[in-house]
Amino acid sequence: MKIVVLTGAGISAESGVPTFRDADGLWEGHRVEDVATPEAYDVAPITVHRFYDARRAALATVAPNPAHHALGRLEGVLGEDLFLVTQNIDDLHERGGSARVHHMHGELLSALCRACGRRTEWREDLVDLPPCPACGVCELRPDVVWFGEIPYGMERIERELMTADLFVSIGTSGAVYPAAGFVRFARACGARTLELNLDASEGTPFFETARHGRASDLVPTWVDEIMERLAH
């Protein structure tokens, strides 16, 4: 059974990582859409660095929750038959036991050099514009996909959606594309579809089944069901 799981900020909410909706999409009075853009970075790089430096530093204060751990267990059983694609830029899936995580919107713990294009693991602040470890130029930006930029690995994601038996969306509002369109694409390719989310989302009408509740309850229960089915 091939399963594609898409996660969003809602799976990290119970770990203490604020979702985009919780803060009403605001950060220090800025709309996220206004900070998470290449234009914002060109106009006010320090403001944008402060936004991401704060979120990167906050990772040290949060821990994976039972939903992350359950997906780690599922990977142990399904191996390559599980494709986990996340919109999240935190490292909670990895710390929850998932070894293969596709971060379609990039990662907080990575820096992208605007001079040489290299992506480097990065755990410190970027606001002081440190030199790129590869080329030495001080042009490191957050390795995050901003609005108007192309998400990482779209071809790979589409291939996985085309061959999935089941597409499960966890903790996302279904407000941002192309991720919000995955359910319709998967369904058109013949996959069953399941939404696990705190409440109804913009995507709910496109799912065959939707379960509403907290991810730390819904995800372990669903993973146990799948394990049970795989065992027989």
Q: Which residues are catalytic?
A: 105
Q: Is 166 in the site for ligand BV8 (CB under 6 A)?
A: no
Q: Is 172 in the site for ligand BV8 (CB under 6 A)?
A: yes
Q: Is 78 in the site for ligand BV8 (CB under 6 A)?
A: no
Taking a C-beta distance cutoff of 8 angstroms, is the pair 196, 203 a contact? no
The C-alpha atoms of residue 40 and residue 144 are separated, in whole angstroms, by 13
Of residues 5, 10, 98, 168, which one binds ligand BV8 by CB under 6 A? 10
Q: Is 59 in the site for ligand BV8 (CB under 6 A)?
A: no
**Nearest-approach distance from CB 195 to ligand BV8, in angstroms:** 9
Q: Is 39 in the site for ligand BV8 (CB under 6 A)?
A: no
Q: Is 203 in the site for ligand BV8 (CB under 6 A)?
A: no
Q: Which amino acid is at 38?
A: P
Residue with Cβ nearer ligand BV8 (40 or 113): 40
Q: Is 214 in the site for ligand BV8 (CB under 6 A)?
A: yes
Q: Between the CA of residue 22 and those of 1, 9, 40, 155, 196, what are the distances in Å?
A: 35, 10, 22, 31, 18
The C-alpha atoms of residue 186 and residue 204 are separated, in whole angstroms, by 14
Chain residue whose CB lies nearest ligand BV8:
10
Q: Angle at the Cα of 172 (from 183 to 150), degrees rounded to 5? A: 70
Of residues 158, 176, 187, 227, which one binds ligand BV8 by CB under 6 A? 176
Q: Is 89 in the site for ligand BV8 (CB under 6 A)?
A: yes
Axis-axis angle for helices 215-231, 66-78 (nearest 10): 20
Q: Is 13 in the site for ligand BV8 (CB under 6 A)?
A: yes
52-56 long-range contacts, Cβ below 8 Å, gap at least 24?
A: 52/108, 52/126, 52/142, 52/144, 53/125, 53/126, 53/127, 55/89, 55/90, 55/108, 56/108, 56/109, 56/122, 56/123, 56/125
List, in order, residues 6 or more apart from 28 with CB less than 8 Å away: 51
Residues 109 to 148: which contact ligand BV8 by CB under 6 A? Answer: 144-148
Q: Is 215 in the site for ligand BV8 (CB under 6 A)?
A: yes
Of residues 8, 72, 96, 220, which one binds ligand BV8 by CB under 6 A? 8
What the block records as the tokens of 140 is 């490191």
Residue with Cβ nearer ligand BV8 (21 or 81): 21
The C-alpha atoms of residue 154 and residue 111 are separated, in whole angstroms, by 20
Residue with Cβ nearer ligand BV8 (72 or 174): 174
Residue ranges that bind ligand BV8, judged by CB under 6 A: 8-10, 13-14, 19-21, 33, 36, 87, 89, 105, 144-151, 154, 171-173, 175-179, 197-199, 201, 214-215
